[in-house]
Amino acid sequence: MSPTKPASVTTSNDTNAARRDTLSITDNRTGKQYEVPIQHDTIRALDLRQIKVNDDDFGMMSYDPAFTNTASCISRITFIDGDKGILRYRGYPIEELAEKSTYLETAYLILHGELPTRAQLDDWTYHITHHTFIHESIKKFLDGFHYDAHPMGMIISAVAALSTFYPDAKDIFDESSRQKQTWRLIGKMPTMAAFAYRHTLGMPYAYPDNELSYPGNFLNMLFRTTELKYRPNPTLERALDVLFILHADHEQNCSTSAMRGVGSSQVDPYSAIAAATAALYGPLHGGANEAVLRMLLEIGSVNRVPEYVKHVKAGEKKLMGFGHRVYKNYDPRAKIVKRIAYEVFDVMGRNPLIDIALECERIALEDDYFVKRKLYPNVDFYTGLIYQSMGFPMTMFPVLFAIPRTSGWIAQWQEMLLDPEQKIARPRQIYLGYETRSYIPMDHRS
Ligand code: SDX
């Protein structure tokens, strides 16, 4: 069946229906029966449109606020099994990539579908490394922000501004143009993030050092002061690389849905990435790692955790860093982050907030309120502790999420663009507002 052609209507009691991959639907309003094909354990919402009471009806739709049970696309990039706590990029388990890969290699995998050969990785690394500089005018743009501007607000603006420097990015169906914008975005996001951070400190910008690794150069642009050559601490460099791997993609999350939705209008990728970054900024999404640290600071001590949990169970507060739309088990990334935390603490000293975090986790894993709702630590629960120990201010935490997720957003955007079934995203609605009514002159209004 062609993807857009609705299934046929069957009126007979087709006894073979039970043996076919179809859903037999009876509309009790009319007695009509329909047989709707099932593919990938899914029915096409458009196949419901044929279900009508009167011939001039619009036809049936599905209603799914927040898309809790709606597939918006077919994808081959990331697989998650929320019940089993499984996460794979292009079939490779996150645990193996975190142990054996690097962020740039993982970004290549996510974008191209296969692990790179040595020559491919060298070429990929060369091009990204040579696209870390940003146009000097972007500095003037960043300088226009107040000293206390949130870096996420600065990054959203700066990446959108990049679209004005690269008009060729509008040529989204040209593969070589997409490739160049991909190098530019992955290369420049860390630079803009570091420049935004330095602006908030009133410090001069530290330029990229092409001899350093991707995470090492990011640390260089953030923390270099008077030394001629910045030497990143290898433990922190590797910790950041693994954290970037863990945050590279996560199938159809809120920000990726924004990337796909905005990108479906065929706007340039910089503008779409700005929209995705804005979605990530929210405290329920990428802003959660900042919200977790503020929560731990608000709790203040281990013996005050039970009091806070009481407010959570009363529905007055959320236990930030817990819960997930898909994971109804421990987020596999959170397990790895927790291990990294202790490696960073060995270098930077133990973060005292870890004890409060561990007590929150201990209580949540035992308390029926959380167990019943399957609320487990997610990727954001421990990352803030690491970032704080590494010297990042809380406002930089969501930025540290946006940088690695850029490769996932681009991969998902590209998959959407090349999917023949996709078109401009334009959902329907159930209208329950007023029927038609006449304009009321001002002096007749109550
Ligand atoms: C990320 O989608 C992704 O993949 C995202 C992400 C990625 O890599 O892109 O994994 C990154 O965004 C991780 C999530 C970070 N956000 C937080 O840690 C914020 C706190 N978490 C919650 O806001 C919440 O768990 C969500 C937003 C993550 C998921 O929300 P859902 O799936 O819409 O669940 P829900 O709000 O319907 O909650 C179901 C129940 C509700 O209770 P009842 O109304 O049934 O009584 O669980 C409760 C919620 O109140 N609940 C929580 C809770 N999360 C859900 N109660 C207390 N604390 C929480 N954290």
pLDDT value at position 290? 92
Give the span between the Cα atoms of 18 and 24, in whole angstroms. 8
Give the span between the Cα atoms of 34 and 12, in whole angstroms. 9
Give the residue whose CA is nearest to atom 37 of ligand 1: 325
Q: Catalytic: which of 131, 150, 199, 324?
A: 324
Q: Element (H or E) spanning 215, and its range? A: helix 214-223
Burial (CB count <10 Å: 0-12, 13-18, 19+), residue 93: middle
Give the single-character DSSP code of 287. T
Q: How far is the CA of 440 from the centre of ligand 1 (A)?
A: 45
Give the residue whose CA is nearest to atom 56 of ligand 1: 318
pLDDT value at position 44? 97
Give the span between the Cα atoms of 227 and 204, in whole angstroms. 13
CB atoms within 10 A of CB 209: 17
Cα atoms in the 13 Å half-sphere on the side-chain side of 328: 5
Note the residue count of the chain. 446
* Closest atom of ligand 1 to CA, residue 255: 9
Give the residue whose CA is nearest to atom 50 of ligand 1: 315
* Closest atom of ligand 1 to CA, residue 331: 10
Ligand 1, pocket residues at CB < 6 Å: 250, 253, 284-285, 288, 312, 318-325, 373, 375, 378-380
Residues 415, 421, 424, 430: is their CA dihedral positive or negative? negative
For the chain, state the CA radius of gyration. Answer: 25
CB distance 53 to 29 below 8 Å: yes
Give the residue whose CA is nearest to atom 1 of ligand 1: 285
Q: Catalytic: which of 127, 171, 285, 367?
A: 285
CB distance 94 to 333 below 8 Å: yes
pLDDT value at position 10? 47
Give the residue whose CA is nearest to atom 15 of ligand 1: 285
Q: How far is the CA of 318 from the centre of ligand 1 (A)?
A: 9
Q: Retrieve residue 231's tokens.
A: 């030497």
Written as one letter, the residue type at 134 is I
Q: Retrieve residue 432's tokens.
A: 């329950």
pLDDT value at position 20? 85
**Alpha carbon of 272 to those of 195, 348, 443: distances in Å?**
21, 37, 46
Give the span between the Cα atoms of 220 and 211, in whole angstroms. 11
Number of H helices and E strands in the chain, helices first, is: 17, 5
SS3 119: helix
Whether 285 is catalytic: yes
pLDDT value at position 16? 56
Please tell me the pTM assigned to this model: 0.94
Q: How far is the CA of 83 from the centre of ligand 1 (A)?
A: 15
Listed residue (216, 207, 81) closest to 139, CA to CA: 207
**Alpha carbon of 332 to those of 62, 189, 295: distances in Å?**
32, 26, 22
* Closest atom of ligand 1 to CA, residue 256: 9
Estimate to the nearest angstrom the gap between the alpha carbon of 329 and the chain centroid: 19
Give the residue whose CA is nearest to atom 16 of ligand 1: 284
The H-assigned helical ranges of 224-287 are 234-246, 254-263, 269-280
pLDDT per residue as tens, the chain (446 positions): 343 444 444 444 555 545 789 999 999 999 999 999 999 999 999 999 999 999 999 999 999 999 999 999 999 999 999 999 999 999 999 999 999 999 999 999 999 999 999 999 999 999 999 999 999 999 999 999 999 999 999 999 999 999 999 999 999 999 999 999 999 999 999 999 999 999 999 999 999 999 999 999 999 999 999 999 999 999 999 999 999 999 999 999 999 999 999 999 999 999 999 999 999 999 999 999 999 999 999 999 999 999 999 999 999 999 999 999 999 989 999 999 999 999 999 999 999 999 999 999 999 999 999 999 999 999 999 999 999 999 999 999 999 999 999 999 999 999 999 999 999 999 999 999 999 999 999 999 99
CB atoms within 10 A of CB 318: 16
Whether 40 is catalytic: no
Q: Candidates 257, 296, 318, 403: which one to mutate for ligand 1, based on the most atoms within 8 Å of Cβ?
A: 318
Listed residue (299, 338, 337) closest to 318, CA to CA: 299
Q: How far is the CA of 57 from the centre of ligand 1 (A)?
A: 38
Q: How far is the CA of 288 from the centre of ligand 1 (A)?
A: 10
CB distance 37 to 47 below 8 Å: yes
CB atoms within 10 A of CB 230: 17
Q: How far is the CA of 369 from the centre of ligand 1 (A)?
A: 14
Q: How far is the CA of 285 from the centre of ligand 1 (A)?
A: 9
Q: Which domains does the chain have, with CATH numbers?
A: 94-421 (1.10.580.10)
Whether 131 is catalytic: no
Q: What is the DSSP string of 369-422?
A: HHHHTT--B-THHHHHHHHHHTT--GGGHHHHHHHHHHHHHHHHHHHHHT-TT-
Maximum C-alpha span of the chain: 82
* Closest atom of ligand 1 to CA, residue 286: 12
